[in-house]
Amino acid sequence: MFNIIYSEFIKLKKSYILIIALISAILMPGIQIIRDIENDYAIIPLNDRGRFFQRDVVDIDRMSILMIYIIIFCLISAYVFSREYTDKTANILYTYPIRKGKIFVGKFITIYMIIIFVYLIQIIITYLGLYIVWGKLPPIQFIIKDIKVNIYSMLLQFLLLPISVLIANLTKNIIFSIIYGLLATIIVGLLLGSGANIYSQFCPLTLPALPFYYYHNGDPIDFVITIGSAIITFVLFMFLCIYQYRKADIE
């Protein structure tokens, strides 16, 4: 399994995907930090800066989760699974003495590792950059809460991954997965525009954003609906992914 994951990263190293993943992690923190520097908040008393720090963290989390991550993770997952077809190397890959199931799992783990990398880099850049700007950290309770938001959001991203993978495997290219990511971003924005109401929680596409609204906005979350939606979505699309991957023509 290690060799499969290692080979996937070697292939990704030769592409633009890892660079895109890094840019997506630093994009929103970078924009917010530059904005704060340009506004010159030096006159704000030191005791009040923790509150502005929290405001910036909340804005970064919201924009990243709602606007950036859905599209980027769809692109990454589609590339990892479809590149063997676009590069015409699928018939070579599957002649190796490795079961297709191991290759499938190895690709999923590779994508999960990239998602973890993106969330981790964003947290580091956000807190390091904003500390340089404001010169003071927010309360430890807020930091712990924000870390929870990102961890739960990341885990819920894992559960939605089979949707974009299935689209990529069916179409054997990244275009339709990107289109799905754009449409999903628009749908999530419309559903969560006024907060995480009960109706928006029925849509599995909103799952990664719900921890943000629960912890930072204080919106009530129906855990029966969200947990049920998460389980059904993951089990259904993972089953379809495995079935399609096992039956797919490698040509």
Give the global pTM. 0.88
Total tally of structural domains belonging to the chain: 1
Positions in the chain short of pLDDT 70:
40-43, 46, 85-98, 248-251
Structural domain span for residue 149: 2-247
Helices (H), 135-222: 140-171, 175-191, 210-215
Q: What pLDDT, on a 0 to 100 scale, did the predictor assign at position 93?
A: 52
End-to-end alpha carbon distance in the chain? 24
Q: What pLDDT, on a 0 to 100 scale, did the predictor assign at position 222?
A: 87
* pLDDT tens by residue, 166-200: 998 888 888 898 999 999 999 998 888 777 788 88
Q: How far apart are CA 238 and CA 227, in angstroms?
A: 16
Q: What pLDDT, on a 0 to 100 scale, did the predictor assign at position 133?
A: 84
Q: How far apart are CA 142 and CA 162, in angstroms?
A: 32
Query: What contacts 24+ positions apart, CB below 8 Å, involve 177-183?
Result: 177/74, 177/75, 177/77, 177/78, 177/82, 178/71, 178/74, 178/75, 178/78, 180/74, 181/70, 181/71, 181/72, 181/73, 181/74, 181/75, 182/71
Contact 216, 61 (CB under 8 A): yes
Contact 70, 181 (CB under 8 A): yes
Structure tokens at 165: 């993978």
Nearest to 8 by CA among 88, 112, 91, 95: 112
Residue 227: CB atoms within 10 A of its CB come to 12
Q: What pLDDT, on a 0 to 100 scale, did the predictor assign at position 185?
A: 92
Q: What pLDDT, on a 0 to 100 scale, did the predictor assign at position 4?
A: 78
User: DSSP secondary structure string, 132-155?
Assistant: HHHSSPPPHHHHHHHHHHHHHHHH
Q: What pLDDT, on a 0 to 100 scale, did the predictor assign at position 218?
A: 84
The amino acid at residue 31 is I
Handedness of CA 129, 130, 132, 136 (dihedral sign): negative
User: DSSP secondary structure string, 35-99?
Assistant: HHHHHT-TTS-HHHHHHHHHHHHHHHHHHIIIIIHHHHHHHHHHHHHHHHHHTT-HHHHTTSSS-
Burial class, 251, CB count within 10 angstroms (exposed 0-12 / middle 13-18 / buried 19+): exposed
